Amino acid sequence: MVSLKALVVDDASFVRDLIKRTVRQRFPMIETTDAPNGRRAQSLMSRTTFDLVLCDWEMPEMSGLELLQWMRQQPQYEKVPFIMITSRGDKGHVVEAVKEGVSEYLGKPFSPEGLSKKIMKVMGRRLQLAAELKASPSSRPVGAFSDTADLLTQKRDGQEPVAKDAGPSPAPQNPLLTPSGANPASRKSSPRAANVAAVRFAESTLKSVVKDISLTEVRVIAKRDQDFPGILDQAVVDIDIGEGAMARLNGYVHQLQAVDKRQDTDFVSVTIRFVDEDPKKLEDLSRFVARFRSGAV
């Protein structure tokens, strides 16, 4: 029985589980293995050959970019698809990854549909062939195999199949809570703006104010007239940490609660649990928490 092998690399186990679950549900012909950082991934790749790598950028011990650089120097991995999955979507990072040979770039938080499209784009015909080989040779693929085959072969408006490799996609947009067209890295932070946070989800961005924060979670208050996520939805919290720098913290929705007891309350409290284990991100978060507790923000 033929199957493809994918390696999922991310320092957050919550994110690794999301990726593996999506792959398992939508691409049953792909077997997944995971690693918490680039160093561990490098060790696994030296012992087993993988057909696809889905990797975070910012990780302890060895970053995703360093893993990509090493991977492209190995004969067996020169042309293996590498999808960078990261909360950093600024143009400079995208260009750097493209120069090092990244196959696709997917911004966090991502939807299962978004991840699936990236996988189909870089794997192309190999996915359809694997699905056909694992299905009964006397019948059309059924169930999950049928869904995958349909997605791989469908055409839109007479164009080529969506799985056709068209090169890296444009940089994902990171809708931060800044003036229109402004680059958060180019402006100086101010006490008024420092406790403002943008919480990004796969399909929307929640503009909010930080009410409490620790090294494990943040509680923000947002106006009710916005699109709210569901419990356990993946999130990225963008926090101004001062001097024009922005911390992008990965997490998930732990709690949603009305601020007032009234049914017509105008504000909702959202608690995001952090999942990052990257020391640099934890250091940035520690500095912000200290400033927040001291009243400096």
pLDDT of 167 reads 41
Q: Determine how β-strand 205-213 pairs with β-strand 217-223.
A: antiparallel
pLDDT of 297 reads 67
Cβ proximity of 104 and 55 under 8 Å:
no
pLDDT of 193 reads 44
Our measurement of the distance from residue 180's CA atom to the centroid of its chain's CA atoms, rounded to an integer in Å, reads: 24
From first CA to last CA, the distance across the chain in angstroms is 59
Domain formed by 4-153, architecture: 3-Layer(aba) Sandwich (3.40)
pLDDT of 155 reads 41
pLDDT of 247 reads 84
Rounded Cα gap, residues 125 and 278, in angstroms: 36
Model confidence, pTM: 0.69
pLDDT of 146 reads 46
| Nearby residues of 43 by Cβ (< 8 Å), 6 or more positions away | 35
Intervals of CATH 3.40.50.2300 along the chain: 4-153
pLDDT of 296 reads 72
Rounded Cα gap, residues 89 and 108, in angstroms: 9
Mean pLDDT for each consecutive 10-residue tract of the chain (297 residues)? 85 94 93 96 96 94 94 95 87 85 93 94 85 58 47 43 39 36 38 69 92 94 93 91 82 94 90 90 89 81
Any idea which fold 184-294 has?
A: Thrombin, subunit H (2.40.10)
Intervals of CATH 2.40.10.220 along the chain: 184-294
